[in-house]
Every structure is written in structure tokens, then in C-alpha cells.
Amino acid sequence: MPQYWLMKSEPDEVSIDDLARAPGKRVPWTGVRNYQARNYMRDQMRIGDGVLFYHSSCAEPGVAGIASVCSAPYPDATQFDRRSKYYDPKSDAAAPRWMHVDVKLVKRTRLLPLREMRTRPELAGMLLLRKGNRLSITPVTEDEWRAVLALLDL
DNA sequence: GCCAACGTTGGC
DNA sequence: GCCAACGTTGGC
């Protein structure tokens, strides 16, 4: 049973175009420093799970493409890199605190703006749209997944 | 730049 | 274990 996720990325850091240009069209999902989001990657994601690739903190936030989980979880190298803004001095190399998966591009799509998502009754239950939500990774139900794909003409 | 909402930290 | 202070997220 595949599961589905929505993963936020700031396009200034990694956009859908960056993903399309990356070697193998895949990137390690580094930099997550929230335990709940980490736990989703570490404990629940499986290779092949569907991902809505979402652009956040930008002029037009919204879903920018479809991706999929393409690795098992493994330690985030940036937590041990002193020069990285994601450096975590409290993380122990013997028991890394931050884990992530790799994500690969499935298909670029039109941008489905957050603004439009808010108008669709079939998406009203999405965690993304819930007031106060800040999580960068949220589970998506199969119905929501299908509804988003339908809006993208997929 | 504002600010609501939420997570984390650390003193007690 | 409580909770106030502080930091971060992210849309607007």
C-alpha cells in the first residue's frame, strides 16, 4: 500500500526545476529539523510513496510537481557540517538525530496555487490547509492525492 | 515586514 | 513536569 505525502521546499533552496536538473533527478531531503517531520521520513516513508512537491515561502506557494520517495532513511550529513546552517552541535555521530530520505522527480506539473487549493471542497481536509499548520512534511490521504492529481489533469 | 501559531528551551 | 520566554515558520 503506497502512502502519500506533501513535502515543502523553498524554491530558493530546492525548486522543482532544481530537482529536474539534479543528477538522477533526485535529491536528499536535508535540513529537516522538526521531530515530527523527521519521524515521518524515518519511520513511515517507504520507497515508492507519492510526494506532492510544494513550493513554500515564495511569491506563489503551491504544489509544483509530483515526486516519489526513492531511498530508505539515512543520516542527514548537514547536521555534522559546522559550516552548514543546518549544523546541529547536539547531534551525536554515533546516534545521529536527523534522518532523511531521498526524493526523485516523477513529473513536473503546472503550479497548483495554495490559493486555488483553498477553494476546493475536496481538499478542505488537507493538513496543509489547516490553520496554524507549519509542518514541512504532512501525510496526504489517498482521496486527497487523487483530487490533487485530478486538478493537475493527471 | 507583520504576526499568528506552534515548537523548543531552560529555570525552577 | 510546568510554563514563560524565545525562536521559527510561512502566508499575506
Asked whether residue A56's C-beta has any atom of DNA/RNA strand C within 7 A, the reply is yes
| Cell representation of residue A150 | 485530478
CA of A88: nearest nucleotide by C1' is B8
Contact (Cβ atoms closer than 8 angstroms) between residue A129 and residue A117 = yes
Q: Please, what CATH class does the domain formed by A4-151 belong to?
A: alpha beta
pTM: 0.95
- Spanning CA of A77 to C1' of B5, the rounded length in angstroms is 30
pLDDT (tens digit per residue) in A98-133: 999 999 999 999 999 999 999 999 999 999 999 889
Residue nearest C8 (alpha carbon to C1'): A134
Q: Which of residues 83-102 of A touch strand B (CB under 7 A)?
A: 90
pLDDT (tens digit per residue) in A9-52: 999 999 999 999 999 999 999 999 999 999 999 999 999 999 99
pLDDT at A2 over 80: no
Which nucleotides in chain C lie closer than 7 A to a protein CB?
A: 8-12
CA of A62: nearest nucleotide by C1' is C11
Spell out the domain ranges in chain A. 4-151
pLDDT at A137: 96
> CA quadruple A89, A90, A94, A99: dihedral positive or negative?
negative
Which nucleotides in chain B lie closer than 7 A to a protein CB?
A: 4-9
- With 0-12 CB in 10 A as exposed, 13-18 as middle and 19+ as buried, what is A57? exposed
Asked whether residue A121's C-beta has any atom of DNA/RNA strand B within 7 A, the reply is no
DSSP code string of A43-111: II--TT-EEEEEE-SSSS-EEEEEEEE-S--EE-GGGG-TTSTT--TT-BTTB-S-EE-EEEEEEEEEE
pLDDT at A93: 87
Contact (Cβ atoms closer than 8 angstroms) between residue A38 and residue A58 = no
